[in-house]
């Protein structure tokens, strides 16, 4: 049985958190149970590093979950507007930022990710018509995203692009 979850607080991501965001970027790469993890240097690949590289741009926004008693960061969620040649895997259009989320393995399944997502959604709702993400089709988090209101807008055998519209925005598939 998992140890009881220590109380944690959420705070905005600061530029000094960039090293932790790199770790969270690695942790966000879904690895099915029994599969070998990705090599650590995968986060240096141009298509992946763009999710964190140069953190602190005007449209960057996110939260860190920090264990209250130890001050240890245990998870992060952030959005970044990736446009033009810098599109992410979950790209839907030029005005929709892409979400990235990860929680350290020992803290998964304890509500940290859900709290992070809820905080981020409340924060970005006034700023954007929608947010998007890409998720492995086998990742159990896909169901959490659906429960929170994300809809699949594009899928393949391996992954799904999901979008959550705010304020009744509709999705135009021709923009992908």
Which pairs with CB-CB distance under 8 Å and at least 24 residues apart come from 34-41? none
Ranges of H-type helices in the chain? 18-28, 46-49, 112-124, 141-148
How many separate domains does the chain show? 1
Chain segment 156-170, per-residue pLDDT in tens: 999 999 999 997 655
| Residue 61 to residue 163: CA distance in whole angstroms | 17
> Cβ(124)–Cβ(82) under 8 Å?
no
Q: What is the pTM of this model?
A: 0.89
Q: Is residue 71 part of a domain?
A: yes
Query: Which of 56, 58, 61, 53 is closest to 86 using CA atoms?
Result: 53
Average pLDDT over residues 32-37: 90
Give domain status of residue 149, yes or no.
yes
pLDDT digits (tens, 9 = 90+) for 60-112: 999 999 999 999 999 999 999 998 888 999 999 999 999 999 999 999 888 89
Q: DSSP assignment, residue 3?
A: P
Q: Is the predicted pLDDT of residue 8 greater than 70, yes or no?
A: yes
Quick check: is 47 in a domain? yes
d(CA 93, CA 174): 9
Residue showing tokens 């998870």:
75
For the CA atoms of 53, 55, 60, 63, what is the dihedral angle to 10 degrees? Answer: 110
| DSSP tag of 36 | P
Q: Is residue 3 part of a domain?
A: no
Q: What is the pLDDT of residue 176?
A: 40
Residue 26 resides in a domain: yes
Domain containing residue 32: 8-171
CATH number for the domain that contains residue 143: 3.40.630.30
Confidence of residue 6 (pLDDT cuts 50, 70, 90): low
Residue of 53, 69, 63, 44 whose CA lies nearest to 18: 53
Q: What is the pLDDT of residue 174?
A: 46
């Amino acid at each position: 049985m998992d140890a009881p979850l220590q109380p944690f607080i959420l705070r905005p991501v600061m530029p000094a958190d960039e090293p932790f965001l790199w770790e969270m970027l690695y942790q966000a790469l879904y690895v099915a149970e029994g599969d070998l993890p990705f090599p650590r240097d995968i986060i240096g690949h141009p298509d992946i590093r763009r999710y964190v590289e140069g953190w602190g741009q005007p449209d960057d926004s996110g939260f860190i979950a920090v264990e209250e008693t130890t001050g240890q960061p245990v998870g992060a969620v952030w959005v970044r507007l990736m446009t033009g040649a810098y599109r992410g895997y979950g790209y839907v259009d030029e005005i929709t930022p892409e979400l990235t989320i990860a929680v350290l393995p020992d803290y998964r399944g304890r509500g940290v990710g859900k709290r992070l997502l809820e905080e981020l959604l409340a924060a970005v709702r006034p700023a954007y018509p929608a947010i998007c993400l890409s998720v492995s089709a086998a990742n159990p988090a896909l169901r959490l995203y659906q429960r929170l209101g994300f809809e699949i807008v594009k899928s393949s055998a391996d992954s799904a692009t999901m979008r959550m519209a705010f304020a009744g925005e509709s999705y135009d598939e021709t923009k992908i």
